[in-house]
Structure 1
Amino acid sequence: MNKVLKRLLIIMIVGLVILGSGFYIWTFFVYSPMPSALDDMVSNSEVKVLSGENIVFFPTGEVKPVGIIFYPGGKVAPEAYAPLLMQLARNGYEVIEVKMPLNLAIFDMNAANKILKDRTDKDWIIAGHSLGGAMAASFVKHYPNSRLKGLMLWASYPGGEKYSLKESSIPVASIYGTKDMGIDKILENKVYLPESTKYYEIEGGNHAQFGDYGPQKGDQVPDIDMETQQEAIIRASVDFLNQISE
């Protein structure tokens, strides 16, 4: 190998190492839960919270026959969704929130497979916020014969024609705010969802208030406060879930 080729090879290797290191460091900059979110990571008289491989919110009273597998948004700590998932559990729905590698659902899109295999005691729907919702939709696309009973998208959409669910018979709910940072994409990608999809539009809601992790870069300023938006998210989610569990 001549000196020029050796030099080019060294440059390429160094470049790849730098890129890889930069990406790895980038993954550590996550949206952390606000202190208020951590309050809902504690068990109470209505919901038992277990944090291990995943985070489980389990109702202590009547438990619905349908549970929720939840994929968190990209680079968002899973604990940031505790306030909303706690409320879903208070409505009788067990929630298993997946802890994603490097906080990116793209690295474990198939995580639901293990839960579906291990937990045959009930039916399940899959849900997710932002990137988590896109990966949940991709799971449905890749496993059309899974025993999932529904797909619930929070501020999310399928990733283009390749992942289209237009011909799918699975019940789908799309819940989003009108001030979402990705509102144009959410509306454009409706063509890739089934005609029977139920849409829940939250006037004045934005992207970040689907969790409790503070403002998100590139997001729009909401016209409503977080409490109001999250109450609307829970109402819409429970309405969809109740239709499936009946």
Structure 2
Amino acid sequence: MRAEDPTTTAAPRRGVPVPRRLGAVVAGVVAVGVAAWVAVTRWAAVAAGHPSYGWLLAGLAVAGVVMLAWSTRVRRRRKRGGWNRAARAVPAVVLVLAAVAAGWLRPFPATADAGGPGVVDLSTSIELRPAGPPVGSGLVFYPGARVDPRAYVAILRPLAEAGHLVVIVKPPLGLALLAPAQAAGVVAAHPEVGRWVVGGHSMGGVAAAKYAEEPGSRASGLVLWAAYPADDLASRTGLAVTSVSGTADGLTTAADVEASRARLPSGTRFVAVPGAVHADFGDYGPQPGDGVPTTDHATAQAAIRQATLDALG
């Protein structure tokens, strides 16, 4: 057996260790950054909403950390085909898209007090309970898209004080159209209420209308706040509809409301609040794309509230 020469230098291995592609680093940083940004700037609103958004942020942060850890590993440089490289980029692209979606879902936070007697905050709803047994209709209310559900407590609290049970649902990811049947669970949980009205603001109104049109719906009334139905309800019998809108609304315009007449029952009551805008239907601050109000917030909300009380009977 031939002895090896100690002075012989081992042949270098093929390939040089190199970091994984920069895209993974960028994707990881974006994911962690968006999750942290939302948590820092909107934590109270996230905690007050449906738990699904908190889960999304947590999953995004974990995925971002995993992506960053993966990107710091080294690999041997070797030739790869175009399809292979494209496949390796897919996780990073998906993570960035998820981060963009999570950032867009960042909620508008409530700006008014949402506490007080009779307010019960549950994981998927906020109940405003009357001081005694409910003496009137119950209201299931769907918030507008990405709006903190607590933003509707102040404007709806007087309805509970008048003897109505009010339940503000917390939509998954803040989008009511993802779960228009939430009202069914509320109705089932409160057999003591004999008559139910469903309502909602903006996208929440669309979701409420979807529930109202279902064959098994218990809703005998529908209240639309700056909203209109996606489907035709004109032939729906036994449904009392009230449409409340603001004349200065820049998102659900007067023309939108007028066009919705053909999709609503002939007996629909239309209430136009002079000078009110989209954000007057809750307490969450200005909303991009909205109009300029020509009346004060309290006056607008008083008119909206009264129209809703009239609908509850």
Q: Give the aligned partner of residue 180 of structure 1.
A: 249
Say whether 1:165 aligns with 2:239. no
Letter in 1 for 2:236: S
The structure-2 alpha-carbon separation of the partners of 1:17 and 1:65, relative to structure 1 and needing over 3 Å to count, comes to: same
Higher RCO by CA contacts (8 Å cutoff, separation 6 or greater): 1
SS in 2 for 1:41: coil
> Unpaired runs of 5+ in structure 1?
none
Paired residues in the alignment total: 229
Listed as ranges, the matches of 1:13-32 within 5 Å are 13-27=91-105, 29-32=106-109
- Please state how far the C-alpha of 1:191 moved relative to its aligned partner: 1.6
Contact 2:136 2:312 in 1 (8 A): no
- Please state how far the C-alpha of 1:13 moved relative to its aligned partner: 4.4
Contact 2:242 2:270 in 1 (8 A): yes
Q: Give the aligned partner of residue 140 of structure 1.
A: 212
- Please state how far the C-alpha of 1:90 moved relative to its aligned partner: 1.8
RMSD of equivalent CA atoms: 1.7
Say whether 1:98 aligns with 2:166. no
Q: Give the aligned partner of residue 191 of structure 2.
A: 120
Cα distance in 2 for residues equivalent to 1:52 and 1:61: 20
> Unpaired runs of 5+ in structure 2?
1-79
Contact 2:141 2:200 in 1 (8 A): yes
Once the two structures are aligned, what percentage of the paired residues are identical? Answer: 34
- Please state how far the C-alpha of 1:62 moved relative to its aligned partner: 6.5
Q: Give the aligned partner of residue 51 of structure 1.
A: 121
- Please state how far the C-alpha of 1:16 moved relative to its aligned partner: 2.8
Listed as ranges, the matches of 1:1-246 within 5 Å are 3-27=81-105, 29-34=106-111, 37-38=112-113, 40-43=114-117, 48-53=118-123, 54-61=125-132, 63-122=134-193, 123-141=195-213, 143-159=214-230, 163-169=231-237, 170-181=239-250, 182-183=252-253, 184-242=255-313
Q: TM-score of the superposition, structure 2-length normalised?
A: 0.69
SS in 2 for 1:59: coil
SS in 1 for 2:217: coil
1:5-38 CA distance string (max 9 Å, x none): 33343444433332122102221x211111xx21
- Please state how far the C-alpha of 1:127 moved relative to its aligned partner: 0.7
1:151-190 CA distance string (max 9 Å, x none): 111111112xxx2111111111100110112213222222
Letter in 1 for 2:131: T
User: Which stretch of structure 1 is more off in the superposition, 51-60 or 101-110?
Assistant: 101-110
1:115-156 CA distance string (max 9 Å, x none): 122222212111100111111111223x13322111111111
Letter in 2 for 1:165: L
1:35-57 CA distance string (max 9 Å, x none): xx21x4211xxxx1111121111
